[in-house]
Structure 1
Amino acid sequence: MSLLDESGPLAIATRLLRLSEQIRRDGFLVYKENGIDFQPKWFPVLYILHHKPVLSVLELAAEIGYTHPSTITLLKELEKEKLVRSKKDKQDERKRLIQLSAKGEALLRQMQPVWHMIAAAATELLDTPHNLLAALTEVENQLSEKSFLARAKAYAPTNNAADPK
């Protein structure tokens, strides 16, 4: 156990990032071993567009839970790879609509058997008495009710010197 692991809740973000990076790295290798040139960071966009074929950038950002700038950066990469395409909305020309390209649709068809492998491996990994997936959902729900910042501020030391009483 590392010193960070021993720090308990103080390093939760670091440990989640470490776990995410390990699963992403291995996910990349699963795709590669199956002859698929794919970056796991593209998954949320392609998966959502597979189920909701045309979305605005803002709708897509909301669906994947990323900021607008992060979504734009990811979309630029996917457009460069010719996996998605965009067009202006006929009702509102300021709005860009995003959809899978023919190449993106072909890639998804190739990926679907691999998704079954990944889902099975993830299910096996998550099959623990503590059910990480359920715990993640609980924490995400708690954060939607009250931010981490608000929670941390509740534990801020009080500055009695500034108090005029």
Structure 2
Amino acid sequence: MKLFERTGKMALGSRLRLMTAKLTDDAAKIYELYEVEFSPKWFPVFFVLSEDGEKTITEIANEIGHSQPSVSKIIQEMTAAGLVQENRESTDKRRNVAALTNKGIDISQKIKVQCGDVDAAVESIISEARHNLWEAIEEWEFLLEQKSLLRRVQEQKKLRESKDVQIVPYEEQYQTAFRSLNEEWISTYFQMEEADYKALDNPNEYILEKGGKIFVALYNNEPVGVCALIKMNDPDYDFELAKMAVSPKIQGKNIGWLLGQAVVNAAKDLGATKIYLESNTALKPAINLYQKLGFIKVVGRSTPYERCNIQMELNLSNQSKSQFIK
């Protein structure tokens, strides 16, 4: 169909629905061909009952991957058609047990003959086609179970939008943004502390002049994220990753990841072997980001911040700079 040549993969769902509609229409006519009064949508529920015997609504729903209300509606329709009886010989009326009636059992025998012909017909299509749709569907189901189409689109959206983000070195013109972005997120979850004011009000004195660096994320030339690499006077660590903040109005564009990459790569360029950071486990997206960058939890260090309840480190000797260029 030329429409789908024009729409491309955007219309995947519409194309599958159109194929499903064609197959369902043919399925209804196939039941008529075998003189079976049966709705195609009943088949998964009917198949389970014919193969496994009586089942509860919940058991059927779990077996075929449908919702319980959907299965209940199908059971009601098949009951009206005389194919299914609910709660037969069930002493517990709270358990909605369904089983095939004698009529349903007779129909199942007819459908088994029909299924043999349908299987052969489908096999003939597979033999004529260049691709095995049946195997492809199974593979797609597995892949979408691992990561949904929605999540994949979200990732592509992030990737595309992140191309409009620039990571630049700190300049005096970004001092207000450096302070306000950090103050915004800290005040949202915690309280500003003395150590915050020192670094945010005097980034040159407390960060840059001591051998550290600050990076700024620009989106449409506006500063929307910041992160600092602070030189540490510590025998175990060379630098601390700190003061990372991204505007909540612009999140979802991989800005935190890009800032983290810039800081880690800068530390490598400066010959660092280990980076340290402090955070709070309530900030789950931040913790996930740090883990993605390669940080692991450490314990037993003192901190000037009351809000800190997790400390992490990144051993740079275990990584190459190319790992962060994706």
The TM-score with structure 1 as length reference comes to 0.87
Q: CA deviation at 1:22?
A: 0.9
Structure 1 residues 16-31: aligned runs within 5 Å? 16-31=16-31
Q: CA deviation at 1:107?
A: 0.8
Quote the residue 2:197 is aligned against: none
Identical counterparts, % of pairs: 27
Quote the residue 1:72 is aligned against: 72
Q: Which moved more, 1:42-51 or 1:120-129?
A: 120-129
Structure 1 residues 1-165: aligned runs within 5 Å? 1-87=1-87, 89-90=90-91, 93-127=93-127, 128-157=129-158, 158=161, 162-163=249-250
Q: Give, as a single letter, the amino acid of the residue that structure 1 aligns with 2:43.
A: F
SS at match of 1:35: coil
Q: Give the number of equivalent residue pairs.
A: 164
Larger RCO: Structure 1 or Structure 2 (Cα < 8 Å, ≥ 6 residues apart)?
1
Q: Distance in 2 between matches of 1:114 and 1:20?
A: 19
- Structure showing greater radius of gyration is 2
Q: Give, as a single letter, the amino acid of the residue that structure 2 aligns with 1:150.
A: R
SS at match of 1:13: helix
- For the 8 Å contact 2:56–2:97, the answer to whether it is kept is yes
- For the 8 Å contact 2:86–2:98, the answer to whether it is kept is yes
Q: CA deviation at 1:144?
A: 1.5
Residues 119-165 of structure 1 deviation map (CA, whole Å, 9 limit, x = unaligned)? 11111123322111111001111122122222222223559562499
The TM-score with structure 2 as length reference comes to 0.46
Tell me which stretches of 4 or more aligned residues in structure 1 moved more than 4 Å.
157-161
SS at match of 1:19: helix
User: Counting helix residues as a fraction of each chain, which structure ranks higher?
Assistant: 1
Q: Distance in 2 between matches of 1:68 and 1:6?
A: 38
User: Counting strand residues as a fraction of each chain, which structure ranks higher?
Assistant: 2
- For the 8 Å contact 2:87–2:93, the answer to whether it is kept is no
Pair 1:163–1:109, CA change in 2 (3 A): closer
Q: Distance in 1 between matches of 2:153 and 2:76?
A: 35
Residues 60-110 of structure 1 deviation map (CA, whole Å, 9 limit, x = unaligned)? 0111111222111111111111111111754x5422111111111111112
Quote the residue 2:234 is aligned against: none
